[in-house]
Each structure stands twice: as C-alpha cells, then as structure tokens.
Structure 1
Amino acid sequence: MPAIGLEDLVDRKKTLPAVAVFILLTGLFSCGPYYLLLEQGLQRYYISGLMWCPGLAALLTCKLMGFPLSVLGWKWGLARWQCMAFGLPILYGLCAYAFIWAGGFAGVLNPRYINEAGAHLGLMGWSTEAVLVLSIFVFGGLAMVWRISNALGEEIGWRGLLVPMLMRRFSFSVTSFIIGLLWALWHAPLIFYTSYNAGPYGLEWQFLNFSILLVSMSFIMTYLRLKSGSLWTAAVFHAAHNAYVLSLLEPMSTKYESSWRYIGEFGLVLPFVTAVFALFFWYKARRDGFSDPLN
C-alpha cells in the first residue's frame, strides 16, 4: 500500500480541474523566464526562475482549489527511499556511459574537461586523477545542495501535485506517462529555440529521445513518490541526474563527430537504458498494487 494518504487529502472530483489549473498556471508563469532565456540565452538565474514555475503553480493551485499543502508530500520519509533516489540516476548513468564508451561512441575521459575543471576549481598543475576525484566530489556532491534547490521547484509541481491528483483518476502507468509527457513538452521551447540541445540538427529526433528519457524517469520518480509519500525523493532524484549524468558523465566524455546521436539526454543510449530501468519499476508498481487508481 502507498505511504501517501490520498483519500484523506484530495477530493476526487477536484483532481482533474486541479490538473487543468496547474497546467494553465505553469504555462503563464513560464512565459517570463522563457522570454528571458530566448532573448538572453541559457543564463543560470533565468533557468532557476523557470524551474520554479511549476512549484509556484502547484502552490497557487492548492490555494485556489482548497487543498492543504500537505498533499504535496513535504515529509522526508524513510531514508532508504532517499538513498535510492540518489543512487538510481548514478547507476543508470554509469550503465549508459559504460555502453557508450565500450561501443566507441565517445571517449572515456575528455582532456578538455580536466583542464576546465582544474581551472574552475583552482587545481591547475594537479594530476589528472586528483582533478577528476575532486571535481566529482564538488560537482557531484557539494553542488547537490544548489541542484536540489532548483529541482525542488519543478518537483513540487510534477511529482508533488500531479502524482496525487492523477493517481486518484488513473493507474500508475497512465499517471507516469502523462506527467512525463507534460514534463517533456514544457522543455520543448528550450530544445527547439535555445542551445539546450546537442546542436542545431535533428531537433525532432533529439526531442523524441529526450521525451523517452523524461517519460522513463517519470515512471521511476512516480514509484518513489508513492512508496515514500515524499516529494523529496523526486527532488533528490532530479538533482542527482543533473549533477552526475549532465554535469559529470557527459562533459567528461570525449565527443566525436557522430557522438551527438548517442550520448547525453538527446542521444539514443541514455533514454534506452533509462527505459529499461523504468520497465523494472513498472513491474514493481504492478506488484505493489498500483495498477488501478488509488481511492
């Protein structure tokens, strides 16, 4: 049985209207940050502002619909779920990049990454091994604090609000798919109109791969949200993905001319590997009784 007491927090008749209100508010709130990102480029502060739009939309939706904020899942929950949320992105990221490196789709260690990381951390003249270890500790460990603060903004909406709303109406599979698709569509302007992609070629293909990745992640994150009763599992998972997969594994890989087709969030391998993980959690969800809507 799920750890989240949906029947005590959510009036089933209000769930779909709440989803509609949330989508509308998220779109409205995102207009400002998106305008700045499209005009000024991928500036860190504008990205942070965009990432908090779903969270603000979720909070206002709760206010407008008369839901208590506890529906969002603020409690921390059992530590094992947070540990799983932290470790899973690292695991599927390592599996994906091990395949990429072994298949020759990209090189194992990019010298440019070592030089830039060394300069950024003030480690010029240090050995490659020392720079690599310290960069993993800083970019993957210490940076998690900042990344969780950003990821929380999104996850208050995607997993905090939408999971309890949609699970009152739909099965685990439908809920996970809807949230993953909405999540991907929300990123579409970034992919098609900014440099948040693998380059200005095959953007439709890149968006398809990215959508498969986010839908697959949605299955895993929805399961963790339901089992833990905590939106923090989603925030930790999201932050760990960004820290280890995007900021470490991808930039430390040496890219070849055709690497864009295989590596990163827009290539083929990572979405495929994550989909395999998602299939496992889909099976676990069925075994745990999430096949039907929660009453």
Structure 2
Amino acid sequence: MAASRMHADKFSSKLKLFVERQKPGLVQFFPDYNFDEYSQRGADMVETLVDRACPREIAEQFAVLALYDLVILLDDSSSMEYEDGGNRKDMLKKVLEAIADVYELAREEGIVSVRFLNNPTGRKDIKKADVAGLHAEIQYDGVTMTGTELQNKILKPFVLEPQTPMRKPLLTMIITDGDIEGEKQGVLKRNINNCLAKLDNDSERTVDSVAFMFARIGDDPAAKTLIEALDDDDKLGAWIDCLPVDSHLDDIDISTNGRSHWDVLRKLMLGGLYEDVDEDDDIYDESLPFEPHGKGPCVDV
C-alpha cells in the first residue's frame, strides 16, 4: 500500500518536534512554532526526495533544511589542485552538486552563499545548475587559514555583524583537504567558541542559531586529525559534526542515487542538526563474520 503524501499541516507538526527535541533555541526564530512560511515547502520537498528514491524517513529529516540558511566555505588552496592527480577537484564538484541538488528544494534560490578560503569574492544563490560554472572558475592558490576565514567570511557577515537581522538559523559547511596553515594553532576552535559565547549572551538569539559541518576531501592525515579532534571536542561537539574521515565520498555522486548516496548525504548535511546523525560515525561499519556452531537450519513449526 502506497504511503500517503505529506501535507503542510502534518509537516508543520514534524518541524515542531524537531525544534522541541533537537534545537529548542530555534523558537526565537519561529515564535509559537509558527512554520507557515516553510511547512508547504518542506512537505513538497519530502515528496520530491521520495520520488528520487530517498527513503521517506530520511527525506523527512532533509526537509527541516527549509528552516535553515546554508552557507559553504570551500578550500581553494593550492593542494586541492596538485594533490591526488586532480581528483580532489573532481570530488569537490560532485559534493557541491549533491548538496545543491537537495538544498534547492529547501530554498528556491539555492545555497545562500559559497565563500572561499583564499579568493575574496564569493558567490550567492547557488543551485545545482550553477555548480559547473562555479567550479570551473575556482583558482586554486594560497594556504588553509580555516579559522581566520571562517571568522571573516562567514561568522562576521552572517552571524556576528550581519547587515540585517538573521531571519533563519545558519548551517555552515566547511569543505577542506588539509590541515590548517598560516594561522596560530587553536584559532578555528577559538572563533567557533567565541561565536557561541556571544550568542549565548544575546537577548534575541541562542546558541542554536548556528551549526557547523566539516568534511574532508582527499587523504591528508593532518586533516584527518583536525576533523577527528573537532568531532570529539567535549565543549563544542554539540554544534559541530564532521563527516567520518573514512567515509566513501564517491558514493555521494548524484548519478548513483542508491541508499549509500543518501546515507552519506544525510551525514554531510544533517549531522550538525540531529543528535542521532551526529553520533552515527559508523555509516560504513561492516558486519563481522559469524557462523553458528552446532546449530541446524531454522525450520517453521
């Protein structure tokens, strides 16, 4: 029997549960749990994703992205071009296409902004159709000052010193291939910590106004150490999630559209929003071999 289609009022109830259970501070953005502006878009998003073979339960989680503004900070340092024979650039394009393909269902204009570690010029309103052009224009040069550029290009303009008040909470993705270079140790964690501290003392916003997701492209061991340390941080971990460093990012290719595609994309886009997704760092755990001894085949009785 086919599942009934999602309606706006039903999805509004699911948004209310999400806020109550996962991000109670979002009530500041949506007083009295009023999601009228986003309920229909979220409900439509669920059905579109299900039509694309996304499991319904996962599609309903993706649809909470209708409540968030998404910005991405991309690593355009030199190593992205010359390491791994150019494979890192190709993987970056696949990841961006997969993210945009889902997020443009949550926000018609697409990803709010894509900023770069080294290039001072970013791009706004990026949809899947824009990714190829954006990717072709990237000039890889410079170092990986992740903490400094996160502060200057994301936290200040969108959270700490916005030109207009925040209307929605901000989900920030940082996609990098290497360890931090060109800045003092600890700048990244300090800037995230200070942002949360200021929000915690804000009369109109709360710490739930932001969430962060980190992903590594390539196999740089220093980047592996950095991402694992962020993921395991006792104080900041509730607002930060990291795609497991051994995740099969190849599976994110939208041409596959299989279950592994949705599992990786769910971790990448929702790990900073859902506690259970945050804690699920074993999406590729394999079953151990098990052969029972002395047991015959099961039979019906």
Q: Under a length normalisation based on structure 2, what TM-score does the superposition of the two structures give? A: 0.24
Q: Under a length normalisation based on structure 1, what TM-score does the superposition of the two structures give? A: 0.24
Bigger strand fraction:
2
Bigger helix fraction:
1
